[in-house]
Structure 1
């Protein structure tokens, strides 16, 4: 049989492609074998001839870790003790201080403090840049290394130093390790019982997160008429991708795309879609997010935004668009490795940091939702309604760092165990707090006051006790700054009262009342309730222009 010219050409092209693939693969295997041999010979020579005895395992592990650091902060070797911690987390608890960390712009940052634990109680905040932990510079640690430094024996201490935007001085926190109970839902209940608006605070995407959400809604529907839902994903660092898909499935129709993962290996290229009719129907949903909402949180908020199913309210999310899996390897170790990027239904890729120098510059920056609303590809998910969080003053930072809200609540409830009513009892509570601060000899210096003090000290060194020609000016400035400092307690009255009521409610009925009080006094929740109650405004936001 004689082949036609087109068929011959096709066979030659296919053969060339197969040969090219074989050569490329062979070349890669050759490079691996070659460098394995070099590495083996180097470590053998060092082990036998180096001037002092070396620890082969430590040396090789450092080499492996250095190799993985060239990839991204999330691809790491997990040793035996860490694999045990992963198992512990999957079962529901671990010993730590209660913070989630991630990488941003080459720095380690606090993604989210866990409500109610040591870091949160002392005032560590989402967005804090970690400088050091236990005396070890954060520049020497990966996110997983830092998490391991946070964990240890219950009752032992962790010294954490952070930088906070707008605060010139570094902040040092001495945190106590305690048993951290890992929950998917921190609290659920009715945000507005009269209007039938439910609230669910989903803190992570662990095993059964979606089924827990479904059960929470069903439980509320047994007692109340549920006309709408506020889903709070603020400070939710993410978790299992499949649970994010299942959570989105509760709100979207059947067979709708949720997320598309794309990697080099065929098994990493997968489209995840909904598999059930919408459990929540078409009732209105508002999703709350902030800079601490990452990974699976962004899959849910991005999918609901792209399908015009929910209004996203708050701040731009963290921007983690990478997927990791854990692969067991020899000797009880495991490799956590980034295997793919993920893309939400509109096609947007929301990763904030390009670790591999292969930015998707060819991707368009402007996309549309299913209903035709314009959305922009950025580092994270942009909210439909932007609402910045309250920026803490130095006064609030010092009150947290000194655990004064905590101590005041103990003293207040010891003298009167009745929970004061927010709004009605504000003046009485505030007056009692002022008295507590006076008795505790609480004092602090604002950043401006500290700078003036430093300047006075320098001038005194240069000019003597009179502080030179600026003596009168400095005295007047110090007087003005002190007057402003004394007014600060009134200026941040609402924020201080909220922290006091949270601590008091925890004394009355533990976490449950604390979380309920947190929702009741949250200005963003109040804004979300108003939006759901305004059908016209809600519909307009989700409609194409």
Structure 2
């Protein structure tokens, strides 16, 4: 009798028992590891906690809301730039990383009746469809836009290339409604609304952001303006006011355009060695060292500060305006297979060897000190009256309604004070009321005095001061007359001729901070 099969069976049984023992041991070790690793253990506890809540709470809970609340709590103690990102936002970011999107070419803000058109991109589908700034988009296809957020409503204007969107429009200028079909197409992101020469042969470039393609657009603009046959530029003004930043890579490329090889651009210092690096310029200054000023302000942040700081600390440019925002933090992204992900602050950036904008603990110092200008010039929007007036959109509406007359008068050089009187009457009709911080404080003191039953003499004095303060507030319209007349012209020009014309005819000729930045370069020369 052959005993080989029995031996094989016994051998197979022993091997099976051996592997079972190994698996048990491995499982035991994994269990010990999980229990000993605090983060994994807490994740298990959290998962169990959420399951108990959803299964045993006295009322039904929305699982998505529970998880969303937990996510928000995880980021609550971090800086404002670290957050959870939903898949639809990632899709929008993906679109923008290509340097464009599929839409109709509008900038809009929220309005009670839908979306108000603030500007129409030249040669865009909206431009060809006859839309104007000031129009109200009430419906997109069958969707009523009233009551939606700007992001929600704007999403209905975007869509697949060559798809159509049917819009219902209200035009306040003549109190009419109309409907129009517009075909979506690719809209390239507008990084530079204007690049040209001033009357002093100084290049002026307005840069709105550092999204994908910004550096290429600057390089093209410089290449065009530096190689004119009949004119040689004598300086460069780069306007970064209210530029919120964008891609770190674009900031490096922009700074690199103005530096010779081997100079420090910026460094990053993070918790991980992979997030710590020094970036060095690697080309040549394409302007051959033309004198340069950069206009900055409180709204110049992130990548704007990288460019401004790099060129300032390398003594390549002077800064004009106000101290920058103070965002010296770098974010990284993690994206999960299902589409969602996180944005997380991973490092701080610095200039030279140790010039940091943000202190070490970004959760306590998420806004740094900013970069100070070499030449201070106050921002007009720092004036509380101008800020309140701009937010009310009354300037915008008045200029739209009187567009042709404003342009005609401005071209003739006599946009005189009678326009201020007309505008003052318009504001009265619209019930616009401005109350300065001073008047608000005096009013509050008076209310407290009345509530606490202070003496009649004190209350009367408060009332006297309040009336005097209100009289000063009413004079603000005429104190800011040069700003108001210029803004009326700027809005009217943009609506009729497009944004490029508003810059060439109004902004670079009449905006005080631009004139100051060019004067500095003339003095340097």
TM-score w.r.t. length of structure 1: 0.68
Of the three residues 502, 509, 516, the one matched with 2:497 is 509
Q: Does 1:532 align with 2:521?
A: yes
Q: Alignment partner for residue 288 of structure 1, among 284, 292, 295?
A: 295
**3-state secondary structure, aligned to 2:408:** coil
Corresponding residue for residue 26 of structure 2: none
Q: Secondary structure at the match of 1:77?
A: strand
Aligned partner of 1:386 in structure 2 is: 376
Distance 2:70 2:344 in 1: 17
Structure 2 residue aligned with 1:151: 151
Over residues 333-353 of structure 1, what are the superposed CA-to-partner deviations in whole Å (9 max), with x where a residue is unaligned? 122122222112242110268
* Corresponding residue number in structure 2 for 1:168: none
Q: Quote how far apart the aligned CAs of 1:295 are.
A: 0.9
Q: Deviations over 1:436-473 (max 9, x none)?
A: 456x365525345566667778888999xxx9557876
SS in 2 for 1:81: helix
- 2:50 — aligned with what? 43
1:421 aligned residue (408, 411, 418)? 411
Q: Distance in 2 between matches of 1:199 and 1:229?
A: 6
Per-residue CA deviations over 1:21-44 (Å, capped at 9, x if unaligned) read xxxxx8998122211221122222
Alignment pair present for 1:82 and 2:89: yes
SS of equivalent residue, structure 2 residue 331: strand
- 391-400 or 62-71: bigger deviation: 391-400
Answer whether contact 2:323 2:370 (CA < 8 A) is retained: yes
- The residue number in structure 1 matching 2:312 is 305
Instruction: State the 1:512 CA deviation.
Output: 1.5
Partner residue in 2 for 1:162: none
Aligned with 1:187 (options 191, 194, 198): 194
In structure 1, what is the Cα distance between the partners aligned to 2:41 and 2:155?
A: 49
Cα drift, residue 258 of structure 1:
0.6
Question: What's the offset of the Cα at 1:212?
Answer: 0.6
Residue segments in structure 2 that go unaligned for 5+ positions in a row: 1-32, 111-116, 121-132, 135-145, 157-183
C-alpha distance in 2, partners of 1:151/1:450? 34
Question: What is the aligned partner in structure 1 of residue 386 from structure 2?
Answer: 396
Q: Does 1:259 align with 2:294?
A: no
Displacement of 1:262 after TM fit?
2.1
Structure-2 change in CA distance of 1:280 and 1:444 (3 Å): same
Task: Write the deviation string for residues 321-380 of structure 1: whole angstroms up to 9, x where unpaired.
Answer: 111122221311122122222112242110268334699xxxxxxxxxxxxxxxxxx722
1:307, distance to aligned residue in structure 2 (A):
0.8
1:214 matched to 2:214? The reply is no
Structure 1 position 264, deviation (Å): 2.9
3-state SS of 2:402 partner: helix
Query: Partners in 2 of 1:249 and 1:66 — Cα distance?
Result: 40
**In 2, Cα distance between equivalents of 1:327 and 1:396:** 41
2:472 alignment partner, one of 484, 491, 495? 484
- Structure of higher CA gyration radius: 2
CA deviation string 1:13-71 (max 9, x = no partner):
xxxxxxxxxxxxx8998122211221122222223222222233432332233113323
Q: How many corresponding residue pairs?
A: 426
Mapped partners of 1:410, 1:487: distance in 2: 24
Pairwise CA distance, 1:428:
5.0
- Of residues 331, 350, 356, the one that matches 1:343 is 350
CA shift in 2, pair 1:56/1:478, >3 Å: closer
Q: Write the distance in 2 (CA, Å) between the matches of 1:264 and 1:226.
A: 45
Q: Distance in 2 between matches of 1:321 and 1:462?
A: 48
Change (3 A) 1:471 1:321: closer
1:412 pairs, out of 402, 421, 428, with 402
For the aligned residue pairs, the C-alpha RMSD in angstroms reads 3.9
CA distance in 2, matches of 1:383, 1:345: 17
TM-score normalized by the length of structure 2: 0.70
Provide the residue aligned with 2:66 in structure 1: 59
3-state secondary structure, aligned to 1:277: coil
Q: Could you tell me how far apart the structure 2 residues matched to 1:487 and 1:273 are?
A: 53
> Which segments of 5 or more consecutive residues in structure 1 lack a partner in the other structure?
1-25, 100-113, 123-133, 136-147, 157-178, 360-377, 537-545
**Match in the other structure for 1:163:** none
Cα distance in 1, alignment partners of residues 303 and 319 from structure 2: 15
Counterpart-to-counterpart distance in 2, 1:299 and 1:433: 41
* Mapped partners of 2:410, 2:285: distance in 1: 41
| Distance change in 2, residues 1:277/1:29 (3 Å) | farther
Matched residue SS, 1:200: strand
Looking at structure 1, the residues matched to 220 and 336 of structure 2 have their Cα atoms a distance apart, in angstroms, of 37
Change (3 A) 1:494 1:264: same
Closer, same or farther in 2 for the Cα pair 1:265/1:430, shift >3 Å?
A: same
Tell me the residue number matched to 1:523: 512
- Describe the superposition over 1:126-185 as per-residue Cα deviations: whole angstroms up to 9, x where unpaired: xxxxxxxx99xxxxxxxxxxxx965111399xxxxxxxxxxxxxxxxxxxxxx9984222
In structure 2, C-alpha distance between the alignment counterparts of 1:68 and 1:479, rounded to whole Å: 48
